[in-house]
């Protein structure tokens, strides 16, 4: 018999043996719920790891692509978390109602856990049992873990490839996964599709739920969720391509856009292992947050979509790569909004960890796409908000956290870069880098033109590496002495059995900002 089978039996025995959970197998009013088919089609997940707690997630969806297929009433879901895979040492358990208003999702904050160790968890509804997930608490603040390993990923357009990168990730020994956005795509894009969304662009909560369900039915994505705790932030495609604050180039009316944003944020929350603090209130949700992993790592999660100024130099058009203009360098332009910018400055000021990872959506380093002395910038990224970037780097330069490392996604290319405050100055007149940056490529989403990127690297020496022809993700190993970043690339994301190989390795040494070949 398999370990999972044994564990499931023990879960069943443990549940039935406890008087405290005698009632939970019934729907709130009436008879025990009986499922005609498995309600745990979307798997399980965990996230928001703290030293004494972690968020456990699932969603009941026996008919995942048809609104979930649940009755319009609350259904009790039992959960338990154990120190061992066989569930012989259960340390916490409980029961939560899965509510129709939340798409019958469940977000449990399991508390009273011990720091820096693995846990196993599962759910039960009626007679149905979920798969078993594994998670890990954060090391205690004040402790000095010898090493931490995490992966970061982004941009998983479903039609453009299979999620083999996640299959590879799930097999690693990681403490954490950080997802940097574009978890779903609202629309079709790219040409060489291997599978289909089947339905059009979602605008309502029901439609966004079905889009998340489609993505989360993927077994490789489920495996990566079930293997590690995740920290997650959104980018644009969770709502609409290249949106900024309360509008996008495809929906200019703020009232109409915010209605859609509320539905999109709600569906995101329902499908991710997010803490209660991130739950949307109408069209707003606070997802920026700090997570601490002993004295080795602080992670600052940022939200650069919800509060940003409208794109510069493009009028009401799409924020593409366009010639520079005066609007771009207006001081008031913001990427994070005033409140988040002040919050981040406070976090940077008080960060004491060996490594401070700023986890945000896109490439922060300047990447001038101009030729012959003219400047052209991609207005949807930090290059469209240079003063916001300068203020962030000023904060780092002023407060000097020990080793600031920025990670990003969105660009569908691997990048390694030095972050300096004025890369336009000649190298001998420029201050040393204040931070190091790594951008993972995309899980599946098509990259930009490789030749054009290679040409851009020639005139942007702060960007040490850029490669857009490969899909995959990045791994990070942290010790007191160094940060080692691996760019992990899948050979062919269009094949179901693609395999992953290391494409490049970079290191950042303790006390020395800037990236070096590893």
CB of 246 to Ca ion, least distance (A): 18
Candidate residues 155, 223, 287, 476; the one interacting with Fe ion per rule CB under 5 A: 155
| Contact present, 67 and 76 (Cβ < 8 Å) | no
CB of 237 to Fe ion, least distance (A): 6
Q: What is the 3-state secondary structure (H, E, C) of 191-224?
A: CCCCCCCCCCCCCCHHHHHHHHHHHHCCHHHHHH
| Contact present, 363 and 384 (Cβ < 8 Å) | no
Alpha helix (H) residue ranges in 296-417: 337-350, 386-399
CB of 440 to Fe ion, least distance (A): 11
CB of 185 to Fe ion, least distance (A): 7
Q: How many Å apart are CA 222 and CA 421, to the nearest integer?
A: 40
In the bound state with Fe ion, the residue whose beta carbon lies nearer, of 32 and 190, is 190
CB of 243 to Fe ion, least distance (A): 13
In the bound state with Fe ion, the residue whose beta carbon lies nearer, of 241 and 418, is 241
Contact positions with Ca ion (CB under 5 A) in 1-60: none
Residue 78 site contact among Ca ion, Fe ion, none (CB < 5 to 8 Å, cut-off depends on kind): none
Stretches 30-38, 225-233, 352-360, 438-446: which one binds Fe ion (CB under 5 A)? Answer: 438-446
Candidate residues 410, 418, 437, 488; the one interacting with Ca ion per rule CB under 5 A: 410
Sign of CA dihedral 364, 369, 371, 375: negative
Q: Give the Å distances, CA to CA, from 227 to 134, 169, 241.
A: 5, 9, 30
Quick one: tokens of 176? 């954490």
Residue 418 site contact among Fe ion, Ca ion, none (CB < 5 to 8 Å, cut-off depends on kind): none
Q: How many Å apart are CA 338 and CA 308, to the nearest integer?
A: 10
Candidate residues 137, 266, 445, 462; the one interacting with Fe ion per rule CB under 5 A: 445
Q: Which of 198, 157, 183, 151 shows the shortest CA–CA distance to 268?
A: 183
Quick one: tokens of 114? 């011990």
Candidate residues 236, 295, 303, 446; the one interacting with Ca ion per rule CB under 5 A: 236
If binding is defined by CB under 5 A, does position 304 make contact with Ca ion? Answer: no
Stretches 174-182, 271-279, 389-397, 413-421: which one binds Ca ion (CB under 5 A)? Answer: 174-182
Burial class (CB in 10 A: 0-12, 13-18, 19+), 439: buried
In the bound state with Fe ion, the residue whose beta carbon lies nearer, of 54 and 264, is 264
Residue 124: beta bridge partners?
Answer: 78, 129
Stretches 20-28, 165-173, 352-360, 445-453: which one binds Fe ion (CB under 5 A)? Answer: 445-453
Residue 236 site contact among Ca ion, Fe ion, none (CB < 5 to 8 Å, cut-off depends on kind): Ca ion
Contact positions with Fe ion (CB under 5 A) in 157-216: 182
Helices H / strands E in the chain, number of each: 8, 24
Instruction: Note the residues at the interface with Fe ion (CB under 5 A).
Output: 155, 182, 445
């Amino acid at each position: 018999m398999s370990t999972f089978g044994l564990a499931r039996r023990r879960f069943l025995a443990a549940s039935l043996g406890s008087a405290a959970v005698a009632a939970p197998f019934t729907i709130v009013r009436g008879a025990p719920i009986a499922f005609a088919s498995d309600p745990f089609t979307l798997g399980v997940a965990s996230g928001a790891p703290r030293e004494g707690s972690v968020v456990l997630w699932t969603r009941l969806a026996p008919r995942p692509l048809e609104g979930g297929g649940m009755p319009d009433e609350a259904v009790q879901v039992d959960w338990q978390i154990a120190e061992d895979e066989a569930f012989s040492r259960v340390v916490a358990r409980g029961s939560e109602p899965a509510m129709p208003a939340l798409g019958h999702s469940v977000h449990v904050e399991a508390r009273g856990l011990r720091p820096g160790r693995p846990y196993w968890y599962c759910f039960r509804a009626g007679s149905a049992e979920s798969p078993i997930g594994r998670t890990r608490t954060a090391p205690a603040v004040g402790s000095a873990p010898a090493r931490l390993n995490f992966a970061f990923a982004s941009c998983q357009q479903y039609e453009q490839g299979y999620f083999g990168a996640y299959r590879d990730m799930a097999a690693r020994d990681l403490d954490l996964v950080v997802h940097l956005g574009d978890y779903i795509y609202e629309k079709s894009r790219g040409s060489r599709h291997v599978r289909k969304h089947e339905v059009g662009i979602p605008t309502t909560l029901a439609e966004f739920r079905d889009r998340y369900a489609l993505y989360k039915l993927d077994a490789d994505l489920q495996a990566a969720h079930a293997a590690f705790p995740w920290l997650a932030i959104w980018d644009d495609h969770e709502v609409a391509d290249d949106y900024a604050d309360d509008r996008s180039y495809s929906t200019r009316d703020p009232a109409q856009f915010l209605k859609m944003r509320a539905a999109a944020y709600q569906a995101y929350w329902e499908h991710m292992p997010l803490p209660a603090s991130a739950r949307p209130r109408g069209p707003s949700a606070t997802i920026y947050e700090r997570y601490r992993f002993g004295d080795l790592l602080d992670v600052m999660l940022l939200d650069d979509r919800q509060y940003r100024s409208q794109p510069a130099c493009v009028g009401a058009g799409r924020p593409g790569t366009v010639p520079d203009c005066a609007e771009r360098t207006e001081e008031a332009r913001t990427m994070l909004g005033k409140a988040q910018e002040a919050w981040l400055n406070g976090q940077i000021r008080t960060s004491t960890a060996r490594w401070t990872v700023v986890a945000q959506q896109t490439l922060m380093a300047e990447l001038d796409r101009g030729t012959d002395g003219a400047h052209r910038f991609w207005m949807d990224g930090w290059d469209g908000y240079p003063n916001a970037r300068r203020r962030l780097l000023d904060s780092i330069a002023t407060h000097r956290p020990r080793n600031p490392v920025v990670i990003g996604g969105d660009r569908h290319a691997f990048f390694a870069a030095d972050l300096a405050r004025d890369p336009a100055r000649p190298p001998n007149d420029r201050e040393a880098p204040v931070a190091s940056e790594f951008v993972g490529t995309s899980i599946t989403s098509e990259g930009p033109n490789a030749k054009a990127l290679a040409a851009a690297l020639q005139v942007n020496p702060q960007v040490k590496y850029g490669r857009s022809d490969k899909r995959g993700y990045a791994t990070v190993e942290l010790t007191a002495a160094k940060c080692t970043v691996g760019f992990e690339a899948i050979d062919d994301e269009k094949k179901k059995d693609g395999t992953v190989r290391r494409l490049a390795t970079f290191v950042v040494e303790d006390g020395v900002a800037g990236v070096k070949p590893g």
